[in-house]
Amino acid sequence: MKLLVTGGAGFIGSNFILYWMAVHPDDFIVNLDKLTYAGNLENLKSIENSPNYQFIRGDICDANVVFESMNGVDVVVHFAAESHVDRSITGPAPFIQTNIVGTHVLLEQALKNKIRFHHISTDEVFGSLKLESSSKFSERTKYDPRSPYSASKAASDHLVNAYYHTYGLPITITNCSNNFGPYQFPEKLIPLAITNLLEGKKVPIYGDGKYVRDWLYVEDHCRAIEAVLLNGKVGETYCIGGMTSDISNLDVIKKIVAHFGKDESVIEFVADRPGHDRRYAMDWSKINKELGWKPAHDFDEWLVKTIEWYKQNESWWKRIKGSLSFRT
């Protein structure tokens, strides 16, 4: 099988490519990535000379580049997106361009070439759950995006579904919860906390810190996408979540701080983000029942392993960490 992976130099995309090539060594992967600030080919150094891998630097909004990239491809796995909520608040335009227009360009070319299309999306399209509730997002949850980022992803989800219902394009969609693990850009909550502590800095956290997230180790996410690509039903959406939900950002930071043997005085509460969603939680029972997938990585254990990865790969994150905002 030949796969076109968009955004394959980013955090989740690069982890997916490394996973897929390890598990499916006979398949061929084309990686199409614009190499924005969050794209890093160093993530893929171990396979850059593989005869079953090709990198194309290009923009998914460029129809000519997309057309050339799809030559002989069996399936598109679409990760490419602007994904940082804070950046979407200060500048929404790139999110609209990449996440909506770029997805449309890909869909048009996939339709012309009759190529299966898998779209990677987020739980943030569903809005916010009440902090005191026990409810979870599912495939039946009404869309209610609250930020320019989540609104752009919601729009792209709707476009993908429209191309299935209107044109018969074979599509699948996955909506995942917050990922963590190796190669995550250090503007996000967990790697920012880890790298700040390694640099002897304080760890910033928005508002009261009582924002609850569902945490998914990135390899579990890759396994879920694999399950959908191999056995998922065309036209269906699958929600993907981790072993740990209903843990606050503050508690996550406290776990990291404790691992470093630091006092909680290193935690710095900062002004809250506008429109900050209070709680996310995912019901992944559909993908479990239909495809047999479930998360395999315990949050506490793999949080420690993630911390150790950043300790051992200081040169990687120091080269890319500058003056960054953060996502919670």
Please list the active-site residues.
123-124, 149
Q: Residue 285: how many CA atoms within 13 Å on its side-chain side?
A: 6
- Looking at the DSSP bridge assignments, the partners of residue 180 are 217
The values of phi and psi at residue 159, to 5°, are -60, -45
Q: Residue 319: how many CA atoms within 13 Å on its side-chain side?
A: 11
Contact status, residue 239 vs residue 287, Cβ threshold 8 Å: yes
| H-run or E-run covering 172 | strand 171-176
Chain Cα centroid distance, residue 177? 8
- Looking at the DSSP bridge assignments, the partners of residue 172 are 118
| H-run or E-run covering 19 | helix 11-23
Identity of the amino acid at 52:
N
Tokens (6 digits) for 174: 């996955």
